[in-house]
Structure 1
Amino acid sequence: MSATSHDCVFCKIVAGEIPADVLGRNDHAIAFADLAPQAPFHVLVVPLEHHEDAAASAAADPAIIGHLVTLADEVAKASGNEDYRLVANTGAGAGQTVFHTHLHVLGGSSSMTETLV
């Protein structure tokens, strides 16, 4: 996969072509507020390099996922969210709508008690 995709909205945010409410950035990823939040705290963390989904990023370089989780943790805690949920949708059937790897960081709600296992 290429380092960027010209028609990818997240690549355009990474490049500064589309404004975003950026909450954090490091050498590998950027974190910004979701435009349609599903929780009181809802941030997206995306790698600077374009890959279609989390599995593609891990296949290209497993460290990418570690960089995303590290930034997610930093941004969540800086915003007062010691407890949070990370979600990575992989594929349209799982709800992925932007095909650039990203983590949803969700927090700030005591009602997030659903167990998936």
Structure 2
Amino acid sequence: MVISKSIRFAIPALAMVVFTIWVGCAADPPEPIPMAANPDSLFHHRVVPFFKTACEGCHFRGGDMYATMPFDDPRVLLGRQDEIAARMDNDAQRAEFRLWTEWIAMAQDSTAAR
């Protein structure tokens, strides 16, 4: 059986693509962020920790900005969410912060609708 030269090179390349897709799909998916029944729990367990790493010196207890802009108060973060998100360097953390603010907005909308 004669196989053309182009097919001889295409088959291993195709096999590699299929293998790569298969391995990628078999990997464990990232841990989903659960829809919190209690937004405060999400705030204290997921949002505050990444603000503490970058902002603890100023915006947490004992810091210069704590009196005017405490980042352990969710109302402060919600009131300045666009300004704060713009200053965040990490895209994943910014996305999680945005998700939290959207959940708060949805919770407020559903409460107002009742």
Instruction: Normalising by structure 1, report the TM-score.
Output: 0.30
Instruction: Normalising by structure 2, report the TM-score.
Output: 0.31
Q: Report the structure, 1 or 2, having the larger strand content.
A: 1
Q: Which has the larger radius of gyration?
A: 2
